[in-house]
Amino acid sequence: MWTARAVSVSPAQVRLLDDRERRVYESLLREPDRALYLTAHALLRLVLGEALGRDPAGLVFAAGPHGKPYLEGAGVEFSLSHSGERVAVALTSGTPVGVDVERVTDLVELPLPVLSAEERAVFDRVPGPERAAAFTAYWVRKEAVLKATGEGLRVDPARLTVSAPDRPAELLGWRGREGPRGRDDVQPHLPVRLYDLDAGEGYRGAVALLGEAAHRIVPRTV
Ligand SMILES: CC(C)(COP(=O)(O)OP(=O)(O)OC[C@H]1O[C@@H](n2cnc3c(N)ncnc32)[C@H](O)[C@@H]1OP(=O)(O)O)[C@@H](O)C(=O)NCCC(=O)NCCS
């Protein structure tokens, strides 16, 4: 796990981007958005390049059906997230992985319909000043799972139930995917291992890994 703060842009980082990334980068008008995008994509390339012993600028990404990037034939899995000033990159030696970091939301009205009924029952007891951080903690846990499977927000996050923010991270249920084996709506990826990630003050983060095996998370701040 690598986390970084996006503070500035450098020409050396820009040179790592491919044409598509460069177009996105150049389309961003606000300097903080540019710094965030550039830091994220440069970090991802540097991490992958080092792990695979390849030129970071030469990596060619493919995308899954819902946009999850991957490297054909590389034998590694990875995930990227960026929010506010934070970037997170997760890399595994083959276990599908999803990472999500989010700045603690400053929305006056939280989008509570993304919570399941079980989560909502707990959330409704969270005191006012803690609600934004608690909501963000739920959100990153759910989104990390959906990024690990590659479905992203094509799946209604309210179908997932994760543990309460003050409990160890865990996927407790996934409505529509709990039926007997062999049914179409049972996805092959469960179970999911979920871990919280220290994304820094004012942020929440989580990483999800598909499958039974326990994992050792090695955090690196760059
Ligand atoms: C992936 C998704 C959850 C991103 O959430 P977010 O909080 O806005 O952004 P994050 O910073 O956490 O993650 C973004 C990164 O996730 C990765 N990503 C994109 N789609 C993904 C997917 N389906 N699954 C996992 N990772 C994905 C990319 O690396 C992306 O980086 P980029 O946008 O800089 O290229 C959301 O955009 C989504 O659900 N997308 C898929 C559905 C969709 O609309 N697809 C359109 C193309 S078919």
CA 119 – CA 42 distance, rounded (Å):
36
Segments making up each domain of the chain, as ranges:
2-221
Q: pLDDT at position 182, please? A: 44
> Which atom of ligand 1 is nearest the CA belonging to 147?
25
205 lines ligand 1 (CB under 6 A): no
CB-based burial of residue 50 (10 Å sphere; 0-12 exposed, 13-18 middle, 19+ buried)?
exposed
81 lines ligand 1 (CB under 6 A): yes
Pick the CATH number of 2-221 from 3.40.50.720, 3.90.470.20, 3.40.50.10860, 3.20.20.150: 3.90.470.20
> Which atom of ligand 1 is nearest the CA belonging to 82?
11
Q: Where does the pLDDT of residue 183 fall: very low under 50, low under 70, confident under 90, or very high at 90 and above? A: very low
**Model confidence pLDDT, tens digit, residues 189-201:** 568 999 999 999 9
Per cent of the chain over pLDDT 70 is 94
Q: Where does the pLDDT of residue 37 fall: very low under 50, low under 70, confident under 90, or very high at 90 and above? A: very high
Tokens coding 9:
């842009």
Q: What is the mean pLDDT of the chain?
A: 92
69 lines ligand 1 (CB under 6 A): yes
User: What does the DSSP assignment read for the chain?
Assistant: -EEEE-----HHHHTT--HHHHHHHHH--SHHHHHHHHHHHHHHHHHHHHHHTS-GGG---EE-TTS-EE-TT---EEEEEEETTEEEEEEESSS-EEEEEEEPP--SS--GGGS-HHHHHHHTTS-GGGHHHHHHHHHHHHHHHHHHHT-GGGS-GGGEEE--TTS---EEEETTS-S-TT-TTS-TT-SEEEEEE---TTEEEEEEEESS-------EE-
84 lines ligand 1 (CB under 6 A): no
